[in-house]
Structure formats: C-alpha cells, structure tokens
Amino acid sequence: MIGVFDSGLGGLSVLAAIARDLPRADLVYLADTAHVPYGNKPEEFIRGRVLAIGRHLVETQGCTLLVVACNTATAAAVNELRLQHPGIAVVGVEPGVKPAARSSASRRIAVLATEATARSERLARLIREHAAQIHVDVVPCPGWATRVETLHLDGPEFLEELRSTVAPLLAQQVDRLVLGCTHYSFLVPQLLPLLDGRAELVDVAAAVARQVLRLRGHAAADAGSGRLTLLATARPERLQAALPALGLSWLARRAHGAAQQAAV
Ligand code: DGL
C-alpha cells in the first residue's frame, strides 16, 4: 500500500501522476483538511502533523511507502518522518530548482511557494546546491493554496494577483517558474496564458512518480488491485467532490467507496 498525503487537495497532482504510472497499485490518499493550509503555520506544528499522519498511514492503513506530496511538509519534517519509520521508504517533494536551473537559458528562475517553504532552510540549501551560479527569485504566494482548496480559481481579482506576481518576473527575463507547492499544479490553466511563451512552468509531480517506481521497482509497486482509498481529517465529502472539479474524474472512478473521515 502506498500512502500519499498533503494538507489538502494539492497532493492530488502527485497522486494522479503515481496512479497514471501504476494502474494496479493500491493507494491511499490523506488530505489534512482540518489543518489546511500548512504554508502559514509554524514549522513545529507542521512537523507534528506530518509525524501523526505518517504513523496513521503506516499503523492503520498498512502503508509500506509514504509520499509526502507537499513541499511545505517535506521542508518541515521529511527527515524526522524517515527517522520515525526506518523500515519504510519515504519520498518527499521538493521544488524543481535543479531542472529549472539546468534548462534556463536566461539563467534567471523563480520559485513560487508557500510562506513556510519560501523561508525554509531546505529550500535555501536546494538553491545553494543546484542554482548557486544563477539568479533565483523566491516568491511566497500567500493564499494561493487556499484558492485551490476552495476551488475558486477564476475570479478576476485572483487572476489579477497571478498576473501581478508573474509580470515582474517575466520583465526580469525569468524563463523558468518553479511550482514549489503541489496545489499550484492546479493553477497551470490560469498561469500558462500569462507567460506568453516567455517562460516555462516546472512541476515535479511526474518526477516524484518516477522516484516511487525507482524505489520499488515497477512490478512490486504495481502489484495490487488498483484500489484508491480517500481519507480527509475534515469534510471528506469535499475531497470526493473536488476530484471531478479538478479534472480527475478518472481517478475518482478508481476510488473504493466514498471518502472517509480520518481521526488523526
Ligand atoms: N501543497 C502544499 C505544498 O506543496 C501545502 C500548501 C499549504 O497547505 O499551504 O507546499
């Protein structure tokens, strides 16, 4: 059983990439909707949630591989989660600084992220290690994850906020915008038209799915009945309803019964 979790809906972008690659894998997705968003919360709080959810997925769901489908949670607690479960493979999600730095022609990239990820030591280290020779703008985007969470993606004020975030970056010749929060994958339809072909979005969901395959081997990772269990710490019916709204009806069809409330 592979357990995938996030503060809310964002990790569904990672889950979708894994489910696409592994049609027969048994998957469980947990959305910590009682505590979303993580991005404006203290690191210690996020760490507590990550460890509690990890324990729940291993002990009550029988997960043998955990995917932290959240940049904010990975930055805050992926090391502690690994220490807590030495026998379990743990895959984290980090902003795609490395592929963006490698492919940028202008040598200017930007990372769009939650406030917590933007100020994290883990992101600072990622930039030192993979993008020390180029210019990197780290742009905190408060409220964007909540927009996705509430499925209010097309309001004119929000579109204007997206435009006024992206336009100055393009004016500075930034040619790679890293989606440093899994929720932002669901903003691609809104962001792409603003780029006018002058920059590319960098998303790591597919790379995370490949990492799951590398760790397990395709045969082992894909052995199962292709069942998806959906869990949420609050209002599971909203998680269920969000799947078709986010273009993931095919994933909803894989779900085994209705989303359930998880007591974590
Ligand atoms: N989806 C998460 C991330 O990748 C967290 C968003 C939030 O809860 O603030 O950072």
pLDDT for 150-194, tens place per residue? Answer: 999 989 999 999 999 999 999 999 999 999 999 999 999 999 999
Q: How far is the CA of 219 from the centre of ligand 1 (A)?
A: 31
70 tagged catalytic: yes
pLDDT digits 0-9 by tens, 10-42: 999 999 999 999 999 999 999 999 999 999 999
**Separation of CA 155 and ligand 1 centre (Å):** 21
In the chain, alpha helices (H): 12-21, 43-59, 71-84, 97-103, 115-118, 121-130, 144-149, 156-171, 188-195, 205-216, 218-221, 236-245, 249-254
User: For ligand 1, is residue 187 a contact (CB within 6 Å)?
Assistant: no
Binding-site residues, please? 6-7, 38-39, 71-72, 182-183
Q: What's the confidence (pLDDT) of residue 223?
A: 84
- The 10 Å Cβ neighbour count of residue 88 is 16
- Which residue among the candidates 2, 14, 18, 181 is catalytic per the annotation? 181
How high is the pLDDT of residue 77? 97
Q: Does 224 lie in the same domain as 160?
A: no
184 Cβ below 6 A of ligand 1: no
pTM of the shown model:
0.96
Q: Residues 120-134, buried b or exposed e (16+ Cβ, 10 A)?
A: bebbeebbeebbeeb
The number of domains in the chain is 2
Residue 180 Cβ inside 6 Å of ligand 1? The answer reads no
Residues 118 and 193 in one domain: yes
Say whether 57 sits in a helix, a strand or coil: helix
- 113 is written with which tokens? 């992220």
- Taking the C-alpha atoms of residue 118 and residue 39, their distance in angstroms, rounded to an integer, is 9
pLDDT, tens digit (0-9, with 9 covering 90-100), for 191-206: 999 999 999 999 999 9
Question: What pLDDT is attached to residue 108?
Answer: 98
Same-domain status, 136 and 57 = no
User: Is 13 near ligand 1, meaning CB less than 6 Å away?
Assistant: no
Q: Which residue has the tokens 């799947």?
A: 243
- List the binding residues for substrate: 6-7, 38-39, 71-72, 182-183
Domain end position, chosen among 158, 177, 203: 203
Q: Which residue has the tokens 């959240």?
A: 70
* CA 113–ligand 1 middle distance (angstroms): 8
Does 102 share its domain with 197? yes
* Same-domain check for residues 144 and 216: no
Cα distance between residue 56 and residue 59, in whole Å: 5
Higher pLDDT, 235 or 218: 235
Of 185, 203, 221, which closes a domain? 203
Q: Is 131 in the pocket of ligand 1 (CB under 6 A)?
A: no
Assess whether pLDDT exceeds 90 at residue 220. no
Domain boundary among 186, 203, 220: 203
For residue 222, pLDDT beyond 80: no
Asked whether the predicted pLDDT for residue 234 surpasses 90, the reply is: yes
Mean pLDDT of 90-100: 98
Residue 20: other Cβ atoms inside 10 A: 13
For residue 115, give both structure tokens: 């406030």
Whether residues 194 and 212 fall in one domain: no
Q: Is 144 in the pocket of ligand 1 (CB under 6 A)?
A: no
Question: Which atom in ligand 1 lies closest to the alpha carbon of residue 40?
Answer: 9
Q: What separation in Å is there between the alpha carbon of 89 and the centre of ligand 1?
A: 21
Residue 245 DSSP one-character state: H
Nearest CA to ligand 1 atom 8: 37
| Ligand 1 site, residue 70, Cβ cutoff 6 A | yes
DSSP secondary structure string for all residues of 101-162: HHH-SSSEEEEEE-HHHHT-HHHHHHHHHH-TTSEEEEEE-TTHHHHHHTT----HHHHHHH
Pair 155, 179 in one domain: yes
Our answer to whether residue 141 is catalytic in this structure is no
Q: Based on the fold, state whether residues 82 and 141 are members of the same structural domain.
A: no
Side-chain half-sphere exposure of 206, counting CA atoms within 13 A? 3
Residues 139 and 199 in one domain: yes
Distance CA 180, CA 52 (A): 24
> Residue 218 has what pLDDT?
76
Show the domain range for 137. 97-203
Helix (H, G, I), strand (E, B) or coil at 186: helix
Whether the link from the prior residue into 189 is cis, omega within 30° of 0, is no
Of the residues 30, 70, 76, 204, only one is catalytic, namely: 70
Q: Output the domain CATH number for residue 124.
A: 3.40.50.1860
**Integer CA distances (angstroms), 244 to 29, 240, 261, in order:** 16, 8, 19
For residue 216, the model assigns a pLDDT of: 82
Residue 172, SS3 per DSSP: coil
CB 113 within 8 A of CB 123: yes
- Could you tell me the CA-to-CA distances from 100 to 96, 134, 206 in Å, in that order? 6, 10, 15
